[in-house]
Structure formats: C-alpha cells, structure tokens
Structure 1
Amino acid sequence: MTTGAWIALAAVVLALAVGLWRAATDGRFRGTHAVRRSEPLVEAGAPDSSTPAGDGAPAPVARPGAELVASLGGTLGDRATLLQFSSAFCAPCRATRRVLGEVTGLVEGVAHVEVDAEHHLEATRAFGILRTPTTIVLDASGVEVTRATGAPTRDQVLTALAAT
C-alpha cells in the first residue's frame, strides 16, 4: 500500500471511532458540573440567595438553576425541572423539546424550561454549556442533579428523573 492509502485508511478508522463514541455518549445523563459564575444571573433588585441573611444565620447555598428559571419568568417544578439549553437552527434541539414536553406530561411535578443559549450567554457560560442541546435536571430546590449533552431519549430522561 502507498502512503496515501494508509493515510486515507487511518482517516476512515478515526472518523468511525469518533462517530461510534458520539453515538454511544450522545444524550446520556452524567454527573453534575460546578457552576462557575462571576455575577448573579438575576437582575438587580431581585433576591439573591448568596447574600448573608443578616440575622447571623449562614447564607443559603446559591442556586443558580433557580435564579435562571426565575429570571426567565418560569417556575421550578415541584419534583424537578428540565432545563434545556438550545439554539435556533439546531434540529436535535427541536427533538429534545418534544421529548422533554412528553416527559413533563407523563411525570407529575416536572417542569420544562428552555433557554436560548445564544440570547442568554451569561447563563450559557455560567453553566459551562459547550454544545446544544444540553439538558440539565434540577431538583425541586433548583440544584443541578445531572446533565446530558445531545438529544436524550424519553427513557433516558425518565431514568434520570427516577434518580432525583
């Protein structure tokens, strides 16, 4: 074989390996990520959970998921909230929207909030979103439980909710 043929074969094998890896990991829920934030995600004047209580009690734990949902005018679900980061021209985002809408209809106390990643860059950066769609499962208090990048299936979402 010539050198060119070996290079072409290596490129095909590498592309196949990356494709199989993406197919195996796309939409799977994994552990949480620490939220990096330099500024609050809510507008000035809104209650901030990171400020001290003033009566000597320790400050409550910051809940950026709850702050983001509130800043978008949404409310947390009684059991969990499915926070979806998407973009305008993303076909898997539309499929994810349908799946998450179906799940919220099936499971009592679960809310679905969609965030346009392009229009909410501060939140996108704060949550460490690298691609769309990304689905974050928040518990009833707005704390991240798990997340999935790519389009999850209905069963994957139901399994992730069962763990909350």
Structure 2
Amino acid sequence: MTGLWVLVATLVAAGAVGALLKARNGRVRKAKPAVRALPAPVTDVLDPASAVTLVQISTTFCAPCRHAKAVLAPLAERTAGLHHVELDVTNSPEVAQSLSVLRTPTTIALTPDGRELLRVGGVPKGPELLDALRPHLTTRTP
C-alpha cells in the first residue's frame, strides 16, 4: 500500500511541475537591470537602424528554436522598427552564461545601445510579444 501512495505522490508532483513549466513557456518577462556588458557576439548583431532587435538564443539540436524562429522572423518582417537575429550558442556557451540564459530558445529584446527591454523563455507568442514591444517600436532614422 505504501508503494501506491508513493506512486500517487510522484504523479501529483510531476503533474504540478509540468503545469508550472507549461505556464511559464513563452511568457514575456520584464528585463532585470543589467549589471554586465553584453558579449561581443550580441553587440555585433544589434541593428542601429531598428528600435528593437530580437536576439534569439538557440542551439543546434533545439527543436523549439525552429518554432521560435518561425514566429519571430515573420513578426520582424512585417513590423517597422523590429529586427530579428538568431544567435547559435552551441559552440560558445559562455555567451549564454553571460546573458544568464538557462534554456533555449530564449529571446531577448534589446535597444540599439544594448539595453534589455524584455525576454521570453521558450517559444514566444507573437501577439503578446508585439503588445509588450509596442511602446518601444518607434520609427528611427539612422
């Protein structure tokens, strides 16, 4: 009988963890104040002509990364002032570490000067991301 209770408790705990992870996936989070400078691979891809650059942190064997790109690339193409770049950190984990990225895909919205606006862990939801970015999307002149 004890084994049955252990099994039930394990299933309940696993279900709770699964529900928590599902709820957090794709959620837009406000940026925390940056204390470190951005690594060079990130500053190199920032677009000075765009109000916001979406830097998608990916790895080679990440299936959700392809889904994130399928959401972000068209969103950036049809939105003025928005630029999307995918940065593969498979061979440079120090870049992910310096950005405090713990999972891929993670999308970080950055201003041209490198200030983080927000980040999304997992596959972003296009409309929610666009709503969160709308105050920052202004037409810039180079």
TM-score of the superposition, structure 2-length normalised? 0.85
| Cross-structure match for 1:86 | 58
Q: Give percent identity, aligned residues only.
A: 37
Report deviation, 1:20.
0.9
Q: Which runs of 5+ in 2 are unaligned?
A: 137-142
| Cross-structure match for 1:55 | none
Report deviation, 1:36.
5.7
Indicate conservation of the 8 Å contact 1:36/1:126, yes or no.
no
Matched residue type, 1:69: V
Sort the Cα spacing of 1:34 and 1:126 in 2 relative to 1 into closer, same or farther, 3 A: farther
Sort the Cα spacing of 1:25 and 1:163 in 2 relative to 1 into closer, same or farther, 3 A: farther
1:116 to 88, 113, 119: 88
Higher relative contact order, structure no. (Cα contacts within 8 Å, ≥ 6 residues apart): 2
Report deviation, 1:159.
1.9
Deviations 1:48-100 (CA, angstroms, capped at 9, x unpaired):
xxxxxxxxxxxxxx5x27x533435x534521010110111111100001100
Q: 1:1-164 counterparts in 2 under 5 A? A: 2-35=1-34, 37=36, 64=38, 67-72=40-45, 75-164=47-136
Matched residue type, 2:41: L
How many Å separate the matches in 2 of 1:121 and 1:32? 21
Q: Number of aligned residue pairs: give it.
A: 136
Larger radius of gyration: 1
Matched residue type, 1:119: N
Indicate conservation of the 8 Å contact 2:43/2:114, yes or no.
no
How many Å separate the matches in 1 of 2:44 and 2:51? 20
Q: Which has the higher helix share?
A: 2
How many Å separate the matches in 2 of 1:103 and 1:25? 21
How many Å separate the matches in 2 of 1:7 and 1:77? 58
Sort the Cα spacing of 1:134 and 1:33 in 2 relative to 1 into closer, same or farther, 3 A: same
How many Å separate the matches in 2 of 1:98 and 1:111? 14
